[in-house]
Amino acid sequence: MPFTHPELPRFANAAEHKVWQELIGQLQDGDFVTAEQRVTDHLKDHEADFVVAIEGGGIMCLEVKGGEVWHDGLTWRQNRGGEYVEIEPVRQARETCYALREFVESDPRWTQGRIRWDHMVVLPNTKLPSDFALPDCPRWKVVDRTQLPHLVGLMRNVLVRQELDRPFLSDVGVEQLQAALAGRGLPQRDVVARALENEDSADLMTEQQAVILNAITLLNRVEVRGGAGSGKTFLAIEQARRLTKGGQRVALICYSHGLASYLERITASWSYKQRPAYVGEFHALGVQWGAPHGPDESLRTTETAEFWERDLPRQMADLAAALPANKRFDAVVIDEAQDFADQWWEPILASLKDSETGGIFLFSDEGQRVFDRQGAPPVPLVPLILDHNMRNTRQIARAFDPLVGQRMRLLGGDGPAVRFVPCPPSEAMDQADDQIEILMDEGWRPEDLALLTTGSRHPEQVARQEEGNQAYWASFWDTDQVFYGHVLGFKGLERRAVVLALNEKHSRDRSRERLYVGLSRARDQLVVCGDPELVRDVGGGELASRLGLSLV
């Protein structure tokens, strides 16, 4: 049997089906035939009814005309349901042959050079006179109904008798022809394309959700609460932009370095009429007012904690109280407000032009309270609840849903299942490194990937942080690098694909919140490496079940 494509073609008429059956019956092993082959050049679109590759011969393009066909001395004609129409089978076959030959020979995989190509016309229902001949179509260029049983032999004879000094088609040539006709440079299934489609849909839904901000236009003190993926950060940024555009002096504040870097990057592209007066970390605001930079936070001693949590906020409160009117704010917008301690609210309120009526807009998720702080603003706020997850795929959102603490409608796109790699905590980081390699083999780019840890930091993160926080967070935007981080510093941020290393040796205070943050940072692909028992202990049986750990 010859190679065929497609295996079971659908034909436009019975004549083409008859010719197909003859070809299949007469061609030899190693030959190749394809039906309804289209090719386009700069002149027009062409279509060969059949392209036949005969090993030891060459490549033949066939034009089939069924039914009643004749030549009136001027042109070919065909009876189509009682209507007599002009046809040009010879020109069709010739032009298609030349266009297809040019396409095949331009394929870099084609190494055969100029071999033997030709074209013929097949009339499966018509009998031609024995002395038939046209200037552009000698008798041997046409196969009529009496010759169908010898169709392949006639084609081979035409190809072999070419007097041009061109090689015959080899078995390698048959293979290369098949490859060329299948196309080249074809787009493959692309995980990034799927992620971008989900991202576009999520961005649209998030923008539509901004209608919530219209509803609070007349409210000056609001807390917007929502689970991971509900669009809180977008709404915080948009609220700051709207207030600034409306003529107010606004501060857009958060706690963590990473989120501050993100907020600064986004707002830096805005016009000065929309850019808030201050964008960044709470503690950096104090430095701007004149407070000391303070000790290295990473040392995590009792003294450093006392400075950052209590001493600096007290100094900031004094500095805020002494601010001139033109340095105060009409409104403050705080993202990830659950990170703020009680002592931090005094300088926030003192920085307002009017501490009684100045705008306070908080965006929070109690489930992500990963720091040992239980702060709450000392002023009444109107609560608004976001109950839609739009940023994570449904597979990811469903996995961490038991940790959210409120009912969420899962509106994200479809994606791959969450993958869990069972391993002890001591091996979680090595397994995570392996999973990064696997994701890149699957088509993810470095810029799409983040490796996050729940325990000790990854050595790559440690190395990058030695260059300073500014350089470290600049790597978040580097399209040539995978980002390495810790769940504590990645709150409010996300990546298309995340590998989460559960490398805590045992559960501790806030382990549940850390797990929630880590699981919710991936938009489209999530891989978790860790101990199933730790997941059950920290997150509960329902979470373990959602992660596919029931039998692990």
Quick one: pLDDT at residue 324?
A: 96
- Residue 16 confidence class, pLDDT cut points 50, 70, 90: very high
Question: If 0-12 CB within 10 Å is exposed, 13-18 middle and 19+ buried, where does residue 117 land?
Answer: buried
Helix 89-105 and helix 171-181, axial crossing angle in degrees, nearest 10: 100
- Residue 134 confidence class, pLDDT cut points 50, 70, 90: very high
Averaged pLDDT for residues 489-512: 90
In 399-417, which positions are buried (b, 16+ CB within 10 angstroms) versus exposed (e)? bbbbbbeeebebbbbebbe
Where are any strands of DSSP class E within 217-350? 221-226, 250-254, 278-281, 331-335
Task: Note the pLDDT tens digit of each residue in 178-230.
Answer: 999 999 887 655 777 777 777 787 777 778 788 889 989 999 999 999 999 99
Sheet holding 522-530, edge to edge: 419-422, 522-530, 495-501, 449-453, 483-486
Residue recorded with tokens 């739009």: 390
Residue recorded with tokens 């001139």: 324
Tokens of 467: 């260059």
Averaged pLDDT for residues 78-103: 95
Quick one: pLDDT at residue 358?
A: 95
DSSP string, 186-214: PPPP-HHHHHHHHHHHHHHHHHHHTHHHH
DSSP 8-state symbol, 301: -
Task: Note the pLDDT tens digit of each residue in 409-466.
Answer: 998 999 999 999 999 999 999 999 999 999 999 999 999 999 999 999 999 999 999 9
Is residue 268 pLDDT above 90, yes or no?
yes
Asked if 93 and 61 count as a contact pair (C-beta separation under 8 A), the reply is yes
Percent of the chain with pLDDT over 90: 76
Quick one: pLDDT at residue 110?
A: 96
User: Closest by alpha carbon to 180, among 119, 117, 101, 115?
Assistant: 101
- Residue 372 confidence class, pLDDT cut points 50, 70, 90: low
Quick one: pLDDT at residue 10?
A: 87
Compute how many other C-beta atoms are within 10 angstroms of the C-beta atom of residue 72. Answer: 9
Coil/strand/helix, residue 72: coil
> Across the chain, what does the average pLDDT equal?
92
DSSP 8-state symbol, 310: I
Is residue 491 pLDDT above 70, yes or no?
yes
The CA distance from 58 to 170, in Å, is 8
DSSP string, 476-516: GG-TTS-EEEEGGG-TT--EEEEEEE---SS--TTHHHHHH
How many CA atoms within 13 Å lie on the side-chain side of 478?
14
Asked, as a colleague might, if the bond just before 276 is cis with ω within 30 of 0, I would say: no
- Residue 298 confidence class, pLDDT cut points 50, 70, 90: low
Residue recorded with tokens 């010719």: 19
Is residue 125 pLDDT above 90, yes or no?
yes
- Residue 370 confidence class, pLDDT cut points 50, 70, 90: low
Averaged pLDDT for residues 97-119: 96
The CA distance from 171 to 368, in Å, is 64
- Residue 299 confidence class, pLDDT cut points 50, 70, 90: low
Question: If 0-12 CB within 10 Å is exposed, 13-18 middle and 19+ buried, where does residue 424 land?
Answer: middle
Coil/strand/helix, residue 278: strand
Q: CA gyration radius for the chain?
A: 36
Quick one: pLDDT at residue 189?
A: 57
The CA distance from 236 to 242, in Å, is 10
The CA distance from 65 to 67, in Å, is 7
Is residue 552 pLDDT above 60, yes or no?
no
Task: Note the pLDDT tens digit of each residue in 154-185.
Answer: 999 999 999 888 999 999 999 999 999 999 88
Task: Note the pLDDT tens digit of each residue in 503-536.
Answer: 998 877 788 999 999 999 999 999 999 999 999 9
